[in-house]
């Protein structure tokens, strides 16, 4: 019976990851390095609460998807402080994450701890961007997949109890990691930018006491921008060091491979 329950839960988790792939088909990060184009965030008419922002419009003047700068993985060791040990023993190798991948060890670590199990076709989709519903799943599993007391009514007008990851999004809300927008929405299919990702990690860590520096450690991040405190906190923990050119790319969506690296570093930092 225990084996059957485990099988059902593994199937459910695999199905959840598989369904995520259809959502991400058109949201893949480019595989080549390109010049950085900062894309300003456009806020919706509804004012965000708990310092959450609307995702930037990533289209060019012709209405085509804009090219978003990709993290320079070739300089990861000095850029993002990759101190991952080379002794990870994988239980499974994703066919799209070879051992030569910059985030191979972090992604393997994530799999070994069931924070992700990838897709039924043995892929991980490392370049896919992450939506807000997906980020809730990552943090829920990072917390150990605790039991959730589900409310009779959804806390968000655009999230139904029948939606996939409803439990995880409710947990995300109950933990105070998000309160959504003032119009009562969660916007589960909005992409998560690096600045918002920093805010989620900061809140997940318990919003520790931290005095943000007067001078920004990144040239593309000013002290008056949203999540400045959270981003500089993330930098102070060495979860991120930014790029070799001194930038952070706050409005760039976070990819699944980069999220694996951030989760790994968070889990191994001294709390």
Taking only the tens place, the pLDDT of each residue in 25-61 is 444 444 332 322 222 332 233 323 333 333 333 333 3
Q: Determine the pLDDT at residue 179.
A: 86
Helix H, strand E, coil C: the string for 24-73 is HCCCECCCCCCCCCCCCCCCCCCCECCCCCCCCCCECCCCCECCCCCCCH
The rounded distance, in Å, linking the Cα atoms of 219 and 222 is 7
CA distances from 193 to 51, 71, 183, 198, 255 (A): 13, 13, 21, 9, 9
Contacts of 89 by beta carbon, 8 Å cutoff, 6+ apart: none
Q: Which of 221, 213, 222, 229 is nearest to 252 (CA)?
A: 221
Q: What integer is the mean pLDDT of 6-35?
A: 42
For the whole model, what pTM was predicted?
A: 0.69
Q: Give the CA angle between residues 86, 260, 136 to the nearest 5°.
A: 155
Quote the percentage of the chain above a pLDDT of 70. Answer: 65
Per-residue model confidence as pLDDT tens digits over 97-132: 999 999 999 999 999 999 998 899 999 999 999 999
CB 179 within 8 A of CB 50: yes
Q: Determine the pLDDT at residue 83.
A: 33
Residue 62, pLDDT > 90, answer: no
Sign of CA dihedral 47, 232, 175, 27: positive
Q: Determine the pLDDT at residue 269.
A: 86
Residue 198, pLDDT > 60, answer: yes
CB atoms within 10 A of CB 21: 15
CB 125 within 8 A of CB 22: no
Q: Determine the pLDDT at residue 123.
A: 94
Mean pLDDT of the chain: 75
Residue 135, pLDDT > 60, answer: yes
């Amino acid at each position: 019976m225990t084996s059957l329950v485990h099988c059902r839960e593994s199937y459910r988790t695999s199905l959840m990851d598989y369904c995520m792939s259809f959502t991400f088909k058109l949201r893949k990060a480019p595989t080549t390095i390109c010049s950085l184009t900062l894309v300003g965030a456009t806020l919706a008419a509804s004012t965000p609460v708990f310092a959450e922002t609307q995702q930037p419009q990533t289209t060019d003047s012709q209405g085509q998807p804009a090219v978003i700068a990709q993290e320079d993985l070739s300089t990861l060791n000095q850029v993002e402080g990759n101190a991952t040990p080379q002794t990870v023993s994988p239980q499974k190798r994703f066919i799209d994450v070879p051992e030569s991948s910059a985030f191979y060890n972090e992604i393997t670590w994530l799999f070994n701890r069931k924070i992700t199990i990838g897709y039924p076709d043995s892929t991980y989709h490392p370049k896919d961007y992450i939506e807000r519903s997906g980020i809730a799943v990552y943090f829920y599993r990072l917390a150990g997949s605790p039991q959730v007391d589900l409310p009779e009514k959804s806390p968000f007008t655009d999230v139904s109890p029948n939606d996939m990851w409803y439990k995880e999004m409710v947990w995300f809300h109950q933990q105070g990691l998000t309160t959504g927008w003032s119009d009562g929405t969660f916007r589960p299919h909005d992409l998560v930018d690096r600045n918002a990702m920093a805010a989620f990690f900061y809140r997940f860590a318990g919003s520790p006491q931290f005095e943000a520096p007067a001078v920004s450690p990144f040239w593309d991040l000013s002290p008056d921008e949203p999540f400045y405190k959270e981003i500089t906190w993330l930098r102070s923990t060495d979860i991120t060091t930014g790029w070799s050119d001194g930038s952070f790319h706050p409005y760039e969506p976070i990819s699944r491979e980069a999220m694996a690296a951030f989760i790994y570093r968070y889990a191994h930092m001294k709390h």
